[in-house]
Structure 1
Amino acid sequence: MTNSLRPHGYQRAPLPPAREAEPTPPTPHRDTAGHQTGPPTAPTGSKPKQRDAFFDNAKYLAIVLVAMGHAWEPLTDYSRTARALYMTVYTLHMPAFILISGYFSRSFDMRPDRLKRLITGIAVPYLIFEIAYTFFKRWADDDPTYDFSLLDPWYLTWFLIALFVWRMTTPIWKIIRWPVPLSLAIATLASVSPDIGDDLDLQRVLQFLPFFVVGLHMKPEHFQKMRGRRARILALPVLACAFVFAYWAGPRMNKAWFYRRDSVQELAAAPWTGPVMTLALFGCSMVLVACFFAWVPRRRMWFTALGAGTLYGYLLHGFLAKGSRFWGWYDANPWTHEPLGEIVVTIIAATVITLLCTPPVQRLFRFAMEPKMVWAFRKDPAEQARKRTTTAA
């Protein structure tokens, strides 16, 4: 019937000739933040994509702040200055790290190669380090009854679980409207929900979620604005004001707020403080993260290459950080509680985390952090077809 309505002599226009699909180059090996870590896989004759020095610098400096914060923690009950520095750093270091992780998760989808990378780069290291931490705690803390728990991350492994959950939900955050307000609403509800419990450390997963969602929707021009001259000038007085406020608030505020691992009920706070503190900490963290990015160098530095090994440093330094508590190192060395001693502790923390991010350490622990595990996955028929086509050409 449809053809009878067409003018006499009408003929369907011929379809264009089918084009043979061009072979897709294999996805390069990448770290958990999305940077390429393996050998370049660009086609012959083309220049491989270079890592952005700015983000490697930011990751390295953020992980140094993480190590410093852990080193300052035992000093916070003796030094008001250490407590103020601790609160200031805890406001920005993990939010900065999480925001970068979100930014490099923008291209994540359920493609097989990316799911494999999610398993080998996040799930498997979580399992390995959760077991390693369990045996370490039994030995170092003289606690032979401490049980391994797959669902209850111990110490630093919560970040791997969180990154796994966040990345798996990335396709959802990319298609819904108002993702950031929704993630803030979820974080707020989590802060007043004591029944969430410790499984998978979901309190932290949900309360830190907004920073990942923000990073997921950021664009290169947003970072350009934060790296401008005006931003650098404004960053210094803002950071100074944040430290002064932290110095005043230190004795008056529970530092557990910055961990985001407990509900307001577990912190013995009024229910209304959940929404207030969630939004206030989010706002403060975003401002300080912007100040941090403003002073991150844009050019290659001596530590730029260490940005590829930050997850190594993050997980490995946990043994030293916890060991110093288990073995009473701070109590056995009273000089650490003096101003000069605090400076020495800070230098030691920065030096140790730097060494743990170096290429030799990466090569030594790559079996645990970036296992290839080719034997564990089925071969992708599409990838095999692409390889045959490339070979035949």
Structure 2
Amino acid sequence: MTNVLRPHGHQRTPLPPESRASPLTPSRDAAAPQPGGSPTPPGGNSAVKKRDPFFDNAKYLAIVLVAIGHAWQPLTADSRIAEALYIFVYAFHMPAFIVISGYFSRSFDMRTDRLQRLITGVAVPYIVFETAYSYFKRYADDDPGYPISLLDPWYLTWFLIALFIWRLTTPLWKIVRWPVPLALSVAVLASVSPDIGDDLDLQRVLQFLPFFVVGLVLKPEHFQLVRRREVRILSVPVFAAALLFAYWVTPRMATSWFYHRDSVQELTAPWWTGLVMTPALFGCSMVLVACFYAWVPRREMWFTALGAGTLYGYLLHGFLAKGSRFWDWYDAGWLHTVWGAVALTVLAAAVVTVLCSRPVQRVFRFVMEPKMEWAFRRDAAELARGRAEKKAPAPTAGDGGTAARG
């Protein structure tokens, strides 16, 4: 169900310290100033600072892995190789996405404009797509009784409600002394608590929480570290070992462990298993996330601009992913061959690429990034500045001349 400039040598341009954008933030943020961008020009006007291509590349590649994982899922029932690849991808694609979410949430506080953006950029898309997905399931799956509930996220919308909750708790994680161990402890407790229930998909919210908190505590130099040549070289045997382990573990371990949506009791394991498996899965995922980041291109690529539209690709491809099951597209025998799996992989990557493109963004921008000025009161400080500007006398020619001479 869950479901993502490079000079030679070690002298590399440092990553920007932070940005206020979300990893799922649409193209409206593409022109937003970011620390580490272009300097102010001599004329004194601030230049529009450029987005860092590394993060856009990482977001695009992560969302492609999400779509590919969804395309592979129906193949896992009769192919051990497909299931191994599926487990391998699911071990790190959402954690990689969530770590970037945390990194770009470091500046979040309860300031009015940031709360407004949290509502328009996360809460509103959640409400719209949770409703749209519910109606889609009713009619596409011939399930007219399926309830529409904003408290029970269905399919992909869990990430939006999780991001909303994580962002609201950001000030807490910024003041505690050991945020990552504390978040991991919360995840462990959640994994052994079967009574949490399905409201707001809190199991997944809490079990994925440590990855978000890791992003909050990361600094630019940490991303610089994984871009070192030796880390890239080391990541190759690590990925290979992870693939072999995934192949070995497929008959022995349910893929549901990697969804993080159930307690260990619901996975028919003894309660104490959560004390071991949750930290172990977290550690394995973080190693694979580091290996993934090590191979993300640092320079501008043909797909870099698509990283600004990952919210579109993430939410829209879900209709096709679920529709393919509802309409029995996988009943075609050729899809369960090697060439069929390759074709599905290419098709999934191509579809989500199109859904991240600018034309699609223009069509769905009213849903993904509504302005909604009408819904918010103007900030008191902003109103005060406006009144002060109206009361200030207009400068005279003599004043201008005096200022120029001064």
1:348 to 1:389, Cα distance in 2 relative to 1, 3 A: farther
Output the TM-score relative to the length of structure 2.
Answer: 0.87
Q: Is the CA contact (8 Å cut-off) linking 1:190 and 1:196 kept in structure 2?
A: yes
1:30 to 1:286, Cα distance in 2 relative to 1, 3 A: closer
SS across alignment from 1:252: coil
**Aligned residue number for residue 200 of structure 2:** 200
Q: Is the CA contact (8 Å cut-off) linking 1:59 and 1:310 kept in structure 2?
A: yes
1:199 to 1:52, Cα distance in 2 relative to 1, 3 A: same
Taking only the aligned residue pairs, the percentage that are identical comes to 71
Moved more, 151-160 or 268-277: 268-277
Q: Is the CA contact (8 Å cut-off) linking 2:109 and 2:171 kept in structure 1?
A: yes
State how 1:12-27 maps to structure 2 within 5 Å.
none
Cα offset, 1:49, TM superposition = 2.1
Output the TM-score relative to the length of structure 1.
Answer: 0.90
1:101 to 1:390, Cα distance in 2 relative to 1, 3 A: farther
Gaps of 5+ in 2: 1-18, 34-39, 395-406
**Aligned residue number for residue 357 of structure 1:** 356
**Aligned residue number for residue 372 of structure 1:** 371
**Aligned residue number for residue 67 of structure 1:** 67
1:348 to 1:49, Cα distance in 2 relative to 1, 3 A: same
1:357 to 1:178, Cα distance in 2 relative to 1, 3 A: same
Q: Is the CA contact (8 Å cut-off) linking 1:92 and 1:286 kept in structure 2?
A: yes
1:213 to 1:39, Cα distance in 2 relative to 1, 3 A: closer
State how 1:178-257 maps to structure 2 within 5 Å.
178-257=178-257
> RMSD of the alignment, in Å?
1.8
Cα offset, 1:30, TM superposition = 4.6
1:292 to 1:128, Cα distance in 2 relative to 1, 3 A: same
> Which has the higher Rg, Structure 1 or Structure 2?
1
Cα offset, 1:147, TM superposition = 0.9
Q: How many angstroms apart in 2 are the aligned matches of 1:30 and 1:237?
A: 33
Cα offset, 1:386, TM superposition = 3.5
State how 1:96-107 maps to structure 2 within 5 Å.
96-107=96-107
1:28-59: CA deviation from partner (whole Å, max 9, x where unpaired): 99556568725747697111221110000000
Cα offset, 1:287, TM superposition = 0.3
1:301-347: CA deviation from partner (whole Å, max 9, x where unpaired): 0000000000110000000000000111101x111110111000000
SS across alignment from 1:263: coil
1:294 to 1:88, Cα distance in 2 relative to 1, 3 A: same
Q: How many angstroms apart in 2 are the aligned matches of 1:384 and 1:343?
A: 58
Q: How many angstroms apart in 2 are the aligned matches of 1:211 and 1:32?
A: 13
Q: Which amino acid aligns with 2:334?
A: W
1:237-256: CA deviation from partner (whole Å, max 9, x where unpaired): 10010000001111111000
2:28 counterpart (30, 37, 44): 37
1:233 to 1:32, Cα distance in 2 relative to 1, 3 A: closer
SS across alignment from 1:298: coil
Q: Is the CA contact (8 Å cut-off) linking 1:76 and 1:83 kept in structure 2?
A: yes
SS across alignment from 1:109: coil
State how 1:151-190 maps to structure 2 within 5 Å.
151-190=151-190
